[in-house]
């Protein structure tokens, strides 16, 4: 069917030649007369760090559920085939698409003489509007709520095109004919579903719910210390990321632990925290808040907090707490508040050693997003190196040297 395919891309940065990738695509179909006939939207796993999260608002927790570009390339060519590609700043979007298709062995796309840029056409049809999408929409009285969401921006650009069409008359009739006969690459479509934002919250229940619900083993759990050690690393930043939850489930499954076993281990862990809090004879408000937060993260009832603080007994399943010592190497990844150099200097002042890359000797990775898909994060996970947020690292910097966390 002929018509228009209005698209918008969210990306990890501004230049595909600098290894930036597409992380979200929105497509809206319009008939030749401007009727909206369909819309599609998906996140795309770029298999790297997501870049400026503060701009596009996409989280790695959602991206981990998303298809890669090769997974959706066949469907995308079908959505674009036979239609005029339209976008606000079309050159930007087509440049990224060319790079993505080139990566999978498609060197050219039939777009060299096709396309409508609603930004460029604004000079003719909205002469007093700013060039950006928000400015054009404001002048054309088109609502734009949720800017930098690919589908929302594609819908806004589609409304701009609908605004232009009555003024353009037959201007694009020849282009419609040419688009209908353009030869797009023939790629197989997969049955991998397109994934929208918020999928992590929809799919990821508390990780305990994914464990087998059966009677605990009759034997003791002294061999479960690898799970407790992993749990201690996970809770360094008082947060359980989606990726960390997966790791805990995998570890429990590997060790043959059921839900009841894990719940018992969580209580043991809280007991160890209570004992550490009582070590100096004083339980501070900060220690009490941390233990309460850990109980909430582990879905433990309030009574377990009271027990842990009131009965500082030795846990029956001992394990080694994580500590960061002077001279330990740390690595930073992702775009975080404050310059990377500033964070590295703070680490040096605390007697830690900033390192550019992940090796087996690195003790900690500080990431803007703990679910990040960056190469550093993937390597850190393979080595069992904890990943924490800059906020959590800042808290570690305020603690005495050699103090375990939390």
DSSP string, 171-233: TTHHHHHHHHT------PPP-PPP--TTHHHHH---GGGGS--SPPPSS--GGGHHHHHHHHH
Number of H helices, E strands in the chain: 17, 9
pLDDT at 229: 86
pLDDT at 275: 84
pLDDT at 332: 94
Q: Which domains does the chain have, with CATH numbers?
A: 3-199 (3.30.420.10), 204-310 (no CATH), 329-398 (3.40.50.10190)
- Please report, rounded to a whole number, the percentage of residues in the chain having pLDDT higher than 90: 52
Q: Enter the pTM of the model.
A: 0.71
CB-based burial of residue 387 (10 Å sphere; 0-12 exposed, 13-18 middle, 19+ buried)? buried
Give the DSSP H or E segment for 25: strand 22-30
Q: What is the pLDDT of residues 105-141, one digit of tens each?
A: 999 999 988 999 999 999 999 999 999 999 999 999 9
- Please report, rounded to a whole number, the percentage of residues in the chain having pLDDT higher than 70: 91
Q: Could you give the dihedral angle defined by the CA atoms of residues 118, 120, 10 and 147, in that order, rounded to the nearest 10 degrees?
A: -60
Mean pLDDT of 345-351: 94
CB-based burial of residue 61 (10 Å sphere; 0-12 exposed, 13-18 middle, 19+ buried)? buried
**For 113-147, b where at least 16 C-beta lie within 10 A, e where not — what string?**
ebbbbbbebbeebbeebeeebebbbeebebebeee
Mean pLDDT of 5-10: 97
Confidence of residue 238 (pLDDT cuts 50, 70, 90): confident
Q: What is the pLDDT of residues 366-405, one digit of tens each?
A: 998 888 888 899 999 999 999 998 988 998 888 655 555 5
User: CB within 8 A of 51, min separation 6: which ones?
Assistant: 11, 12, 13, 20, 23, 335
Q: Which DSSP symbol is given to 235?
A: G
Please give the radius of gyration of the chain, using alpha carbons only, rounded to the nearest integer: 26
Q: List the structure tokens of 58.
A: 């996409």
């Amino acid at each position: 069917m002929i018509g228009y395919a209005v698209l918008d891309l969210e990306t990890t940065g501004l230049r595909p030649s600098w290894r930036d990738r597409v992380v979200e695509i929105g497509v809206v179909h319009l008939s030749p007369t401007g009727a909206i006939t369909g819309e599609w939207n998906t996140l795309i796993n770029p298999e790297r760090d997501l870049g400026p999260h503060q701009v596009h608002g996409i989280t790695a927790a959602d991206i981990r559920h998303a298809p890669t570009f090769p997974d959706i390339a066949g469907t995308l060519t079908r959505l674009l085939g036979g239609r005029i590609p339209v976008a606000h700043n079309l050159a930007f979007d087509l440049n990224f698409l060319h790079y993505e298709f080139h990566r999978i062995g498609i060197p050219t796309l039939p777009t060299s003489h096709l396309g409508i840029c609603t930004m460029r056409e604004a000079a003719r049809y909205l002469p007093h509007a700013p060039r950006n999408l928000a400015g054009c929409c404001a002048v054309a009285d088109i609502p734009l709520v949720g800017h930098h969401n690919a589908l929302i921006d594609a819908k806004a650009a589609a409304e701009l095109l609908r605004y232009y069409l009555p003024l353009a008359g037959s201007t694009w009739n020849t282009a419609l004919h040419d688009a209908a006969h353009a030869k797009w690459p023939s790629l197989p479509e997969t049955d991998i579903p397109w994934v929208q934002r918020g999928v992590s919250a929809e799919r990821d229940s508390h990780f305990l719910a994914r464990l087998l619900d059966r009677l605990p083993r009759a034997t003791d759990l002294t061999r479960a210390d690898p799970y407790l050690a992993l749990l201690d690393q996970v809770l360094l930043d008082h947060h359980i990321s989606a990726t960390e939850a997966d790791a805990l489930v995998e570890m429990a499954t590997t060790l043959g632990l059921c839900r009841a076993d894990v719940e018992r281990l969580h209580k043991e862990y809280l007991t160890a925290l209570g004992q550490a809090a009582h070590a100096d004879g004083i339980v501070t408000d900060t220690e009490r808040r941390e233990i309460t937060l850990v109980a909430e993260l582990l879905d433990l009832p309030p009574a377990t907090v009271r027990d842990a603080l009131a009965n500082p007994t030795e846990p029956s399943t001992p394990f080694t707490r994580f500590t960061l010592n002077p001279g330990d190497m740390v690595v930073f990844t992702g775009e975080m508040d404050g310059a990377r150099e500033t964070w590295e200097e703070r680490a040096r002042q605390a007697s830690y050693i900033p390192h550019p890359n992940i090796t087996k000797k690195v003790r900690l990775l500080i990431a803007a997003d703990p679910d990040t898909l960056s190469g550093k994060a993937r390597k850190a996970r393979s080595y069992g190196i904890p990943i924490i947020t800059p906020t959590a690292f800042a808290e570690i910097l305020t603690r005495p040297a050699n103090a375990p966390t939390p």
